[in-house]
């Protein structure tokens, strides 16, 4: 450090251009401030308006969060069952549900919705949310208190009578603009935004329905999807979103870096691995392998696809047929390849390939894979800690290869600010040609978007309405911000 300007720029860095609030106890969540030591600086600055809104939101969380008088009042009101027109504090309760990648994406979506609607975000801690993520808001907890009166979250599904969609369908509430049946609104509704949701549930994404929801103090939300792209299609929020995110393809990048800080235990997994295996390499290549075929694998066509993609796109060098020849280069470059997969087969094959053969470029390729958990074990603690650590480690790569349809990969690319080469989903057990494609933007894909024109009340291609919401590379019916 030389002088105050240097040290203040270090301080500024630590807070990621003002994205993170100052004033946390650093020891309680080391990753929040140490992340900057492991990441390249993001070329994307958060907008001043986003920073302003985040600070305002932190004040709201503090004012209305658990253990405040206003929270207690709102809970009393919830118990009474009736809505009042002007509640001082309104809430979104996020239900912990689905795989870890899905959870991260839905939580970011729920947070953006809370920000847009001035609602406090509280999260159901599920089995392990508190073990995986630090508190994101200063001086206030986002964990839903355990004595919260609505807690039958497991029974919330497409059939739940408390869902907004079912209440509309059964005409318990009305969304018609000219008042319709006025009757009083409930104190809470359940928003079923899961991939299996129905047409009435999907009306969530309509302006008139947003107007009704504004009057309901408690919204309890369950989803397994990154539903942000469709929020950009609701006229109510268009202007605000434009101001928050002048660069539309940075929504998850900024919100993810704001919200998701690994707890000290997970940070230990990340930093020990990074320092042991990745730190010294001149280039870090992340390869995320997620296979949705049934059966244990490894599969030859998946291996073909990984190598086909990496060699074709020159992310990894080819091997030389002449076994002893090594191109003598004055500076031997080293690349570290971080692979993640439930299965160890692909990693073993690729590691052996670079051990048994020299590369045509003389580069030294080291291949690593932190774990091979064999199958998804949602709910088991160390399993999800490793999954989170691996997503984070992938996000520290210089270049990234991901698998189609996988939210695990989306999280890594968004946190890292990386546009990966995405490997298309294999059909009929054959590697697709081309094996992969560079994505348009680092945003996650919304896998189950609505295709409905709220004004015209008929179907529409929601991927063709505005230039910044397009269909995804890896799923033709999905939507992503570009
Ligand atoms: P998605 O199913 O690929 O969209 O990703 P999710 O994260 O939502 O769900 C997959 C789950 O399977 C993860 O949360 C992990 O529990 C597990 N999983 C899948 N791939 C890996 C991997 O490469 N490493 C680890 N440790 N776990 C994985």
Residue for token pair 């503090």: 62
386 lines ligand 1 (CB under 6 A): yes
- State yes or no: pLDDT of 2 exceeds 60: no
**Strand runs labelled E in 279-370:** 283-288, 334-340, 364-368
Give residue 341 CA to ligand 1 midpoint distance, Å.
8
- The span from the CA of 379 to the CA of 254, in Å, is 27
Q: What is d(CA 172, CA 170) in angstroms, rounded to the nearest whole number? A: 5
Nearest CA owner, ligand 1 atom 9: 99
Q: What percent of the chain has pLDDT over 70?
A: 94
C-alpha 390 to ligand 1 mean position (Å): 9
Task: Please report which confidence band the pLDDT of residue 341 belongs to, taking 50, 70 and 90 as the band edges.
Answer: very high
Q: Is the CB of 99 under 6 A from ligand 1?
A: yes
Q: Is 435 in the pocket of ligand 1 (CB under 6 A)?
A: no
Query: Domain spans of the chain?
Result: 14-259, 282-444
86 versus 421: the higher-pLDDT residue is 421
Token pair recorded at residue 339: 């692979």
Atom of ligand 1 nearest to the CA of 411: 7
Say whether 453 sits in a helix, a strand or coil.
Answer: strand
Mutate which of 387, 405, 410, 415 for ligand 1 pocket (most atoms within 8 A of beta carbon): 387
Domain 282-444 in CATH 3.40.50:
yes
- Residue 42 neighbours by CB distance under 10 Å: 18
pLDDT exceeds cutoff 60 at 12:
no
Q: Which three-class secondary structure state does DSSP give residue 253?
A: helix
The token pair that represents 355 in the structure block: 């051990």
pLDDT at position 347 is 98
Q: What SS3 state is found at 241?
A: helix
Give 29's pLDDT tier (boundaries 50, 70, 90).
very high
Mean pLDDT lowest for which of 9-18, 22-31, 56-65, 249-258?
A: 9-18
Residue with tokens 């505005």, as numbered in its chain: 466
The residue-averaged pLDDT of 174-196 equals: 83
The reply to whether ligand 1 has any atom less than 6 angstroms from the CB of 390 is: yes
* Host H or E run for residue 469: strand 469-471
Look at residue 138 in the predicted model and tell me its pLDDT. 96
C-alpha–C-alpha distance, residues 202 and 233, integer Å: 13
What's the CA gap between 99 and 86, in Å, rounded? 36
Strand intervals (E) in 82-193 = 91-94, 120-123, 188-193
ipTM entry: 0.98
| Residue-wise pLDDT tens digits, 363-401 | 999 999 999 998 887 767 799 999 999 999 999 999 999
Residue nearest to atom 10 of ligand 1 (CA): 99
Residue-by-residue DSSP string for 363-377: -EEEEE-S---SS--
Contact 228, 108 (CB under 8 A): yes
By alpha-carbon position, which residue is closest to atom 18 of ligand 1? Answer: 376
Instruction: Please give the model's pTM, rounded to 2 decimal places.
Output: 0.95
């Amino acid at each position: 450090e030389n002088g105050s300007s240097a040290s203040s720029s270090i301080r500024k860095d630590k807070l990621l251009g003002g994205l993170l609030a100052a004033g946390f106890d650093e020891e309680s969540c080391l990753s929040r401030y140490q992340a900057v030591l492991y990441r390249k600086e993001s070329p994307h600055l958060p907008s001043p308006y986003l920073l302003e809104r985040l600070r305002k939101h932190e004040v709201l969380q503090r004012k209305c969060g658990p253990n405040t008088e206003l929270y207690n009042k709102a809970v009393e009101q919830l118990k009474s069952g009736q809505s009042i027109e002007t509640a001082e504090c309104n809430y979104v309760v996020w239900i912990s549900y689905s795989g870890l990648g899905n959870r991260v994406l839905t939580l970011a979506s729920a947070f953006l919705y809370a920000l847009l609607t001035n609602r406090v975000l509280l999260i159901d801690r599920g089995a392990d949310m508190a073990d995986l993520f630090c508190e994101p808001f200063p001086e206030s907890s986002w964990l839903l208190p355990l004595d919260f009166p609505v807690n039958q979250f497991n029974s919330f599904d497409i059939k739940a009578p408390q869902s907004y969609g079912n209440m509309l369908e059964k005409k318990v509430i009305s969304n018609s603009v000219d008042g319709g049946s006025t009757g009083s609104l409930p104190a809470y509704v359940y928003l079923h935004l899961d991939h299996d949701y129905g047409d009435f549930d999907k009306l969530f994404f309509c302006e008139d329905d947003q107007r009704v929801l504004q009057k309901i103090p408690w919204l309890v939300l369950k989803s397994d999807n990154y539903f942000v792209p469709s929020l950009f299609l609701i006229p109510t929020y268009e202007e605000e979103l434009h101001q928050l995110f002048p660069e539309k393809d940075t929504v998850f990048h900024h919100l993810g870096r704001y919200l998701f800080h690994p707890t000290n235990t997970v940070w230990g997994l990340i930093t020990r691995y990074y320092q042991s295996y990745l730190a010294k390499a001149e280039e870090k290549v992340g390869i995320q392998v997620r296979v949705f075929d049934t059966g244990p694998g490894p599969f030859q066509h998946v291996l073909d696809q990984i190598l086909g993609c990496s060699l074709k796109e020159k992310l990894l060098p080819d091997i030389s047929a002449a076994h002893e020849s090594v191109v003598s280069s004055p500076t031997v470059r080293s690349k570290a390849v971080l692979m993640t997969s439930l299965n160890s087969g692909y990693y073993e094959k690729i590691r052996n390939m670079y051990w048994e053969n020299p590369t045509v470029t003389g580069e030294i390729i080291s291949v690593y894979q932190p774990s091979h958990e064999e199958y998804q074990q949602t709910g088991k603690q160390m399993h999800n800690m490793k999954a989170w650590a691996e997503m984070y480690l992938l996000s520290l790569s210089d270049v990234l290869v991901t698998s189609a349809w996988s939210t695990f990969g989306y999280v890594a690319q968004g946190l890292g600010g990386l546009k990966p080469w995405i490997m298309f989903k294999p059909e009929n057990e054959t590697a697709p040609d081309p094996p992969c494609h560079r994505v348009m933007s680092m945003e996650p894909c919304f896998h189950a978007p609505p295709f409905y024109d709220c004004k015209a009340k008929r179907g529409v291609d929601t991927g063709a309405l505005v230039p910044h919401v397009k269909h995804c590379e890896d799923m033709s019916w999905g939507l992503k911000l570009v």
